[in-house]
Structure 1
Amino acid sequence: MGLVASLCGCDIPEDHSIVPMPRSVIMGIGSFDLNSDAGVYLTDPNDPKTQEVFDIWAAPYRKSGALALSESRDSDSAIKVGIDGQGAAESYRLSVTTEGITLNASDHAGLFYGLQTLSQLMPPDAVTTADVSSFGLPVLEIDDAPRFTYRGVHLDVARHFFPPEFIKHYIDLLALYKINRFHWHLTEDQGWRIEIDQYPKLTEVAAFREQTHMGHGLDEFQGDGVRYGGFYTKEEIREIVAYAHARNIMIIPEIEMPGHATAALAAYPKLGCTEGPFEVAMTWGIFEDIYCPYEETFEFLENVLLEVIELFPGDYIHIGGDEAPKARWEESEYVQDLMVREGFNDVEQVQGYFIRRIDKFLNEHGKRLIGWDEIIEGGLPPNATVMSWRGTIGGIEASRRGHDVVMTPYSHLYLDYYQSADQENEPFAIGGFLPLDTVYSYEPVPSQLRERDKNRIIGAQANVWTEYMKTGEHVEYMLLPRMLALAEVVWSPAEAKDFTSFLKRIEWHLDRFDALGVNYREPDQ
């Protein structure tokens, strides 16, 4: 067959709509006619994980009636799918000829991603209607693997709570675009969202606020008069974790400390440096009351973390570490005595002490600590991973010190920012301006890093903070299509990126969102 190269650094032909762009696409001549009778041959039908991956992918096509995708023991079937162990982790090779489709992957993750790519060669509404039960797939050869190992998207469920079914839907959206980390922001000043057996007041008290401010955090308070809250039971969390794992997504739970702790202090006021009283926050911003570094506080946090660890099998536990004012510590006799005892001359060193104790505890229980870039202040634990959100400086410093870094700067990856300068015609948001092309332009590896430090940039993450997002539809609108731009940033080779091509390719994806009933913002032309 005739083939036209679409390799990194070359002009990208517009013969496909794949997002993120694979590292190598060779377009051919002609097509393969796929119809509902096409059989599927799994090269290892006795591997239950391969079966699970294939069934997850095939389910919507079977449900819509577009494709039966019946499995066959015939190796000459139209679709051949399997793992050959070749290539880098998460890689795959997809071949479409006029005779059929062959997908080989290095591992189950690569198999899952290769199937997502295969979907993007089909009509966008094939997942929802049987009217497209026969269609042509372009002849091509794809050899693909991710640029970064960490490809993350975050969701804040503490400012506004989203039910388990929406969390699964959110995970589905991430999985479509080869995102492999879901950062689940579970605790905040405005609410505690995870069931902890040993501390029932966290869900009885800390999970609910009396009302919610209806403006920006600095505006005069105007409450809505409606009690608000919710939390996830342990059973719901286990189900969500398993759901994500089946889609090759590791969930990273975040339990904020030492700041953003007002809700927890409302439930257990003895953990604060003052007597309070404390209440679950009803407005937004940064609050002075944080955890006091008592032994009782560490006992509380370690007990909480033990229950969190039991629920989340991934490598990381996120401990926040950001926006922790030190006024209460400076005023506390206990903290001043602690500083004398430990030989500290700066209250920031107390935060380092706090973080190091938690890091040691997590390491002893087989977990790695990850936190926002403020954890650098006061001394960084040796095994900690840093999320650089206040720009790139924190990430540069951490990588030079030998730490893994996830880049997540607000300038390019905070998806709660407005998508248009015409804010009056956009849903109410925190502020800022982050259009699609700015997200797409982001380069996670700072140019000033030495080669040996560049490898410590393990990926990037987009963050969705929900102070002003009350509904799942609003979250979708802020997420899409900017998440697709992030996907290309973290998956595709840097030299393969082309925004004009990207805009053309995402037209197919917007059609698929329409078919699925998913909300999104139309890109500016």
Structure 2
Amino acid sequence: MSDLLPRPVSALPGRGSFTLSPGDPVSGPADLADAVRRALPALDLRPADPATAAQAAVAVARDPSLDPDAYRLEVTEQGVRIVAAQPAGAFYAGQTLRQLLPDTAFRAVRAGGRVPAVLIEDAPRFSWRGAHLDVARHFLPKREVLRMVDLMAAHKLNRLHLHLVDDQGWRIESRAHPRLHEVGSHRARTVTSHYREEPAYDGTPHGGYYTLDDLAEIAAYARDRAVTVVPEIDVPGHASAILAAYPELDARATGGRTPEPFGVLDRWGISPAILSPLPPTVDFLTAVFDELLGALGTAPYVHIGGDECVLDDWAASPEITAFWEELGLTGPGELHAWFLRRLADALAERGSRAVVWDEAFVSGALRPDTVVMPWRGSGVARRAAAAGYDVVQTPVFPLYFDYAEAASEDEPLAIGEAITVADVAGFAPVPPGWSEQEAAHVLGAQFQLWSERLPDARAVDYRAWPRGCALAEAAWSGPADPSFTARLERHLRRLDALGVEYRPPAGPRPWQRGGTGPRRHRPGVVRVDETMRHLEELTHAADSTRPSM
């Protein structure tokens, strides 16, 4: 029991053990029993015969008084007993039971084994325990998204934030506006040079998108594993791919102008491409939301971006200027907030809450139920919480996993350094000193995998794990306790069984190093501590000019 990760609220060892075998029966309410079965594929548990259900090796019962993600797990010499209120709690009990079994329970084989007697009572500290996967900069095939869901489920993470749209690619089918995926889903080449270097490109096309049927499959697969998909359509900035497909939505195209069209961006950084905020754009995006929500089935949250918007083209347009004056707004900053509120209203009418990056909060008053992701640090996070908005903690330090884990030339290419496993394990989603009211607005936390420097699934594995294990601990249990290092060392054997190509604590394996070519890391180019200081300064400067709410 000393090697469970994330650590449970309580675990009391008992006497003896119980041996589980493939094909053993499981009894109880069908929705709860099925959730346990999904958590334990190696056991291949079978529904118990009603006549012998009382003697089932695994018995599941419902206790409506428990929270949805909470569970009780008791193992005695007579069998396994699980109590939960909802399928999510039963699923997490199954994942804990999986960790109590031998490591073969994490392989794609039918296997059982001895389980030590124990009584575990457990529930997460935070409801939002997430992973952000950027498939816009570098596309990942559907199979890799499903695999990420499996890895999240094994760590009791429950929000998959899919960054589907950015300057470098549009990644979902649209039957209402088909040029989005026909034109916006691919680029002719990708930059290979690093920050502050002369631009160089690979000359290789890159692209891909998920069909609406793919999205429906991903969402259903995730729901069965207690994971909610949070899709992101990042607007109104980061719009190169959209405008390559539909240039009439370009803010520069207002007033009868015909600007030089944007193409799908082949480099990184902030682009000036921005959508027009006029009503036709809102109608266009609402049609996309309808398709997206129809495919997902249920989407309690939809991220609409709002970050890194260059508003110069709004200010330069007489038509857009007249529009914000007609609305009684004072300038492009307030118009930015108005545009996102309008999209949030459309989503609310369809049963979804809008989620935004923190620039949207700084711009002006948002719809009250909007969730804010403050990536620029605890200062803006606290101001958003104090203003009454729910927040999901997403700070660059220590939750941007595109940063390297060491300032070393042995590391593969990263935006900068260094964010270590220990940094993540010590993270507190509610910082010390926050008031009770502010703390109540913290839904949880998630790690970010921005993919400019993550070209494939092996690179994603290397950056995500084991730092993702540390985030799972922080979001489920709170900051890691002194036993975390030893528990993680044991847990890495489970990742080995799962086939995860994680970064070893001692450093990269020979084939994981950046080498001497374009994938080599340049230590010291961008330091995360310097980045955070700069972002906090920018946020304070912007907040000082923010309209009162």
TM-score, normalised to structure 2, is 0.87
Residue 399 to residue 76, structure 1, CA distance change in 2 (3 Å): same
Amino acid at match of 1:364: E
Instruction: Identify the residue that residue 89 of structure 2 maps to in structure 1.
Output: 110
Instruction: Identify the residue that residue 295 of structure 1 maps to in structure 2.
Output: 279
The question of whether the paired residues in 1 share the 8 Å contact of 2:341 and 2:366 is answered with: yes
Alignment of 1:300-339 (within 5 A): 300-312=284-296, 313-339=298-324
Amino acid at match of 1:95: E
Q: After superposition, what is the alpha-carbon deviation per residue over 1:338-394, rounded to whole angstroms, capped at 9, x for unaligned?
A: 233233333211101211111221122222111101111132222211011100122
The question of whether the paired residues in 2 share the 8 Å contact of 1:195 and 1:202 is answered with: yes
The question of whether the paired residues in 1 share the 8 Å contact of 2:42 and 2:112 is answered with: no
Alignment of 1:333-352 (within 5 A): 333-352=318-337
**Correspondence for 1:418 among 374, 383, 404:** 404
**Correspondence for 2:40 among 35, 39, 58:** 58
Does residue 419 of structure 2 align to residue 434 of structure 1? yes
Instruction: Identify the residue that residue 169 of structure 1 maps to in structure 2.
Output: 147
Amino acid at match of 1:391: G
The question of whether the paired residues in 1 share the 8 Å contact of 2:5 and 2:488 is answered with: yes
Does residue 256 of structure 2 align to residue 278 of structure 1? no
Q: After superposition, what is the alpha-carbon deviation per residue over 1:407-444, rounded to whole angstroms, capped at 9, x for unaligned?
A: 1101111111101122x111111113100000011111
Instruction: Identify the residue that residue 494 of structure 2 maps to in structure 1.
Output: 512
SS of alignment partner, residue 105 of structure 2: coil
Alignment of 1:361-380 (within 5 A): 361-376=346-361, 377-380=363-366
Separation in 2, partners of 1:492, 1:509: 16
Q: After superposition, what is the alpha-carbon deviation per residue over 1:308-339, rounded to whole angstroms, capped at 9, x for unaligned?
A: 12123121110000000112112222222223
Separation in 1, partners of 2:305, 2:214: 23
Instruction: Identify the residue that residue 461 of structure 2 maps to in structure 1.
Output: 476
SS of alignment partner, residue 238 of structure 2: coil
Alignment of 1:44-443 (within 5 A): 44=29, 47=30, 49-62=31-44, 71-72=48-49, 73-128=52-107, 133-135=112-114, 137-216=115-194, 218-274=196-252, 275-312=259-296, 313-376=298-361, 377-422=363-408, 424-443=409-428
Separation in 2, partners of 1:386, 1:174: 22
Separation in 1, partners of 2:358, 2:420: 24
Separation in 2, partners of 1:297, 1:70: 51
Q: Aligned pair count?
A: 497
Residue 378 to residue 501, structure 1, CA distance change in 2 (3 Å): same
Comparing 83-92 and 198-207, the one that deviates more: 83-92
Amino acid at match of 1:289: A
SS of alignment partner, residue 60 of structure 1: coil
The question of whether the paired residues in 2 share the 8 Å contact of 1:16 and 1:121 is answered with: no
SS of alignment partner, residue 350 of structure 1: helix
The question of whether the paired residues in 2 share the 8 Å contact of 1:38 and 1:70 is answered with: no
Amino acid at match of 2:152: L
Amino acid at match of 1:399: A
Separation in 2, partners of 1:88, 1:33: 28
**Correspondence for 2:429 among 444, 462, 472:** 444
The question of whether the paired residues in 1 share the 8 Å contact of 2:43 and 2:111 is answered with: no
Shift of residue 181, structure 1, vs aligned partner: 0.7
Separation in 1, partners of 2:65, 2:436: 27
The question of whether the paired residues in 2 share the 8 Å contact of 1:481 and 1:521 is answered with: yes
**Correspondence for 2:2 among 12, 16, 37:** 16
Amino acid at match of 2:261: P
Separation in 2, partners of 1:114, 1:58: 10
Separation in 2, partners of 1:163, 1:443: 33
The question of whether the paired residues in 2 share the 8 Å contact of 1:396 and 1:446 is answered with: no
Amino acid at match of 1:340: E
Amino acid at match of 1:298: V
The question of whether the paired residues in 1 share the 8 Å contact of 2:27 and 2:53 is answered with: no
Comparing 336-345 and 294-303, the one that deviates more: 336-345
Shift of residue 36, structure 1, vs aligned partner: 2.3
SS of alignment partner, residue 215 of structure 1: coil
Amino acid at match of 1:486: L
Q: After superposition, what is the alpha-carbon deviation per residue over 1:137-179, rounded to whole angstroms, capped at 9, x for unaligned?
A: 2222110011111111110000000111111000000011111
- List runs of 5+ in structure 1 lacking aligned partners: 1-14, 63-67
Q: After superposition, what is the alpha-carbon deviation per residue over 1:450-478, rounded to whole angstroms, capped at 9, x for unaligned?
A: 21221111111111100111111110111
Separation in 2, partners of 1:283, 1:468: 11
SS of alignment partner, residue 522 of structure 1: coil
- Percent sequence identity is 38
Separation in 1, partners of 2:105, 2:99: 10
Separation in 2, partners of 1:34, 1:433: 44
The question of whether the paired residues in 1 share the 8 Å contact of 2:127 and 2:444 is answered with: yes
The question of whether the paired residues in 1 share the 8 Å contact of 2:22 and 2:42 is answered with: no
The question of whether the paired residues in 2 share the 8 Å contact of 1:459 and 1:490 is answered with: yes
Separation in 2, partners of 1:492, 1:358: 35
Instruction: Identify the residue that residue 34 of structure 1 maps to in structure 2.
Output: 19
The question of whether the paired residues in 2 share the 8 Å contact of 1:124 and 1:509 is answered with: no
Shift of residue 204, structure 1, vs aligned partner: 0.9
Q: CA RMSD in A?
A: 1.9
Separation in 2, partners of 1:348, 1:464: 28
- List runs of 5+ in structure 2 lacking aligned partners: 253-258, 508-549
Amino acid at match of 1:519: E
Does residue 507 of structure 2 align to residue 501 of structure 1? no
